[in-house]
Chains A and B, each alone.
Chain A
Amino acid sequence: MSDRHPDHYVAPVDETQPGAVDQVKLSARKSNMWLDAWRDLRKRPLFYVALVLALLVTVVALFPSWFTPLDPNAPGACLLADSNGAPVDGHPLGFTRQGCDVYSRIIYGASTSLTVGLLVVAITGAIGIPMGAIAGFYGGWVDSFLSRVGDIFFSIPYFLAAVVVMSVMSEYRNPLVISFAIGGFAWASLARIVRAEVLRNKNLEYVMASEAIGRSRGSTLLKHVLPNSMGPVIVTLTLSLGAAITAEATLSLLGIGLNGYMSWGNEIAQAQQTLRTNPSALFWPSLALTLTVLAFTFLGELIRDALDPKARARR
């Protein structure tokens, strides 16, 4: 070859027939964004730890009676004689100031925390995804208008907004109201993310192809652009699940959270008074809360990492 091309290398075109280039190996493994991400996730031990923790919390929330024979809602569940008591047989984590069993209250509090977390995620998604998608896809004055509305919601720290809503709605402190108080303002950052993703996707060839074969704008957005923009959305929603559970607990700690519901935030708020004398009543619900938030945060972070080919390469 060197005698034919003395100066520089030229690919041996004669030897490679055009047909060989076009031939695709059908036996090769299928691959797309989600499969690549899944293959990466499967190799990370932390993913399993987070997944098992998240599933455990979900099962505890759905079937609390599987985990404790005690019913903390039953009359006479708390005996003042046990006030601030140390762990004994059948009560592995001791007692609160009111003489309630700490362990069973944590188990029964899980469903409240998870319900609020999932409701907030649903509300955030239900407002944030359409707002961002419509703004990004249609552009023009629609984008200007929706983005300015988003800016306003984005500029009020969502926790402060929730404080205002919850203190005004003092008679309606139930999971639905608290979820709207948090999610009603937390959607703005999701809308920004969705808008950026849709903007990135909407000028790609597949969108043009979809319109060329006669699909309407709206249908293209729903069937092609939006599904391809879902990666960051799923990451953000998973992370916001943890943030929402924290927000609910914080509002309950301030005394404007849920009223009459057993929740980790309420347990922590009550145990705060006995921080010096009975720190374990504060410690255990805090640990349950922290591990739950940790599980969802890590799931979100690992999915983010797995979906991003650049981040995979950077490791």
Chain B
Amino acid sequence: MTLYVLKRLLQAIPVFFGTTFLIYFMVFSMPGDPVLALFGDRTPNPAVLEAVREQYNLDQPFIVQYFLYIKDFFTGDLGVTFSGQSVNEIFARAFPTTLMLVTIAVVAEFILSVGFGLLSGLRKGKFADHASLLLALVLNSIPPFVALFVAQYFIGIKLGWAPVTVGANVTWGALMLPGITIALTIYVVGMRLMRGSVIEAREGDYVRTAYAKGLTSKRVIPVHVARNSLIPVITNTAASFGALIAGTTVTEGIFNIPGIGKVLYDAIGLSEVSTIVSFVTILTVMYIIVNILVDLLYAVLDPRIRYV
């Protein structure tokens, strides 16, 4: 197991350098002057231009720039935004909100996956199975922002059951609507995994044994079938945790939730390239870390995974 953990961590090192290098390379190899782009439509003072170039080490060769940037990243200095705020500070302020939103989405996704997956698997081939699969697929095809607008309009504005936007007052209740809406658009994957493993488990010898020794389905379904079908759903939920953290930009923009995604959303609106790059890098690194943890979780949960 220790060997597996080490191996997985070692694998992540080239991926970390590769991704950060790629993002960095993309920005600095594109046509156009990144420093001029910082200023948008305004024409900056040449002295300011020089100062900014020096601040971002742009007077150094490309590869030196990259390693200076990595050095800063490892020493915990994530840089400053265009308006001069420390990225560390913004991150520390915004991250808990994103974490709350993503937690709601992930918990809702898990409940939906397990509930509908169990229903579908137990009623395999029947109406309930087809109907719930179809519903999940249709929900999954709706572009997330469309689902968010629909939820915001009907539940927020028309029915008034939830706040239309969240704003500065972040509470679990206010984040329910966007969180659950996002969960509704993604639960199809987890539901299918649950359905598949429920169908497989019901044909398993240990389930037949459980029935044979006289247990009723009231006990067999939750204890023997459902519990043994949860592993793929748990790892899928954990994986979507990473994807959701990386993908909250639109959700937080539409519902005005002051998290990481909103920082990125605002930076995109103001074309602040350096802020965009900082936060895309942070989100990508978090995505990589969560994916490593998911692999480790999978190995812990399923002893059949060989640690090679």
Across the interface, which residues of B come within 8 angstroms of A282, CB to CB? Answer: 149, 153
Report the Cα distance A250→B284, complex, angstroms.
19
Q: Which one of B15, B146, B264 has the highest number of Cβ atoms from chain A below 10 Å of its Cβ?
A: B146
A sample of 17 more A-B contacts (CB under 8 A), given A171-B32, A172-B31, A314-B199, is A151-B11, A151-B18, A157-B243, A159-B246, A164-B26, A164-B27, A165-B26, A167-B271, A253-B250, A254-B265, A254-B269, A268-B149, A282-B149, A286-B146, A289-B146, A293-B142, A301-B137
* Inter-subunit contact B273/A167 (CB<8 Å): yes
Residues of A within 8 A of B (CB): 148-149, 151-153, 155-157, 159-161, 163-165, 167-172, 242, 246, 249-250, 253-256, 268, 272, 275-276, 279, 282, 286, 289-290, 293-294, 297-298, 301, 314-315
Q: Does B187 count as interface, using CB distance less than 8 angstroms?
A: no
Given contacts A152-B22, A268-B145, A289-B143, contact A169 B30 (CB under 8 A): yes
Given contacts A157-B287, A164-B280, A256-B268, contact A290 B142 (CB under 8 A): yes
* Inter-subunit contact A242/B141 (CB<8 Å): yes
Q: Does B207 count as interface, using CB distance less than 8 angstroms?
A: no
Residues of B within 8 A of A (CB): 11, 14-15, 18-19, 22-23, 26-27, 30-32, 34, 37, 124-125, 137-138, 140-146, 149-150, 152-153, 157, 199, 243, 246-247, 249-250, 253-254, 264-265, 268-269, 271, 273, 276-277, 280, 283-284, 287-288, 291
Given contacts A152-B19, A242-B141, A297-B141, contact A254 B243 (CB under 8 A): no
Across the interface, which residues of A come within 8 angstroms of B145, CB to CB? Answer: 249-250, 253, 268
Across the interface, which residues of A come within 8 angstroms of B243, CB to CB? Answer: 157
Across the interface, which residues of B come within 8 angstroms of A268, CB to CB? Answer: 145-146, 149
Overall SS of chain B's interface? helix
* Inter-subunit contact B268/A293 (CB<8 Å): no
Q: List 27 A-B contacts (CB under 8 A).
A: A151-B11, A151-B14, A152-B14, A152-B19, A155-B284, A157-B243, A157-B247, A163-B249, A163-B280, A168-B27, A168-B30, A168-B37, A169-B31, A171-B32, A242-B141, A249-B143, A250-B143, A254-B249, A268-B145, A275-B149, A275-B152, A275-B157, A282-B149, A286-B150, A289-B146, A290-B142, A293-B142
Report the Cα distance A83→B214, complex, angstroms.
71
Across the interface, which residues of B come within 8 angstroms of A297, CB to CB? Answer: 137, 140-141
* Inter-subunit contact A152/B125 (CB<8 Å): no
Please tell me which one of the listed residues B19, B137, B149, B254 contacts residue A286 in the complex, with CB atoms under 8 A apart: B149
- B181 CB → nearest A CB, Å: 14
* Inter-subunit contact A290/B141 (CB<8 Å): yes
* Inter-subunit contact B23/A156 (CB<8 Å): yes
* Inter-subunit contact A294/B138 (CB<8 Å): yes
* Inter-subunit contact A156/B153 (CB<8 Å): no
- B267 CB → nearest A CB, Å: 8
Q: Which one of B22, B27, B37, B125 has the highest number of Cβ atoms from chain A below 10 Å of its Cβ?
A: B22
Report the Cα distance A168→B145, complex, angstroms.
23
Q: Which one of B23, B142, B144, B254 has the highest number of Cβ atoms from chain A below 10 Å of its Cβ?
A: B142
Given contacts A155-B284, A298-B141, contact A164 B23 (CB under 8 A): yes
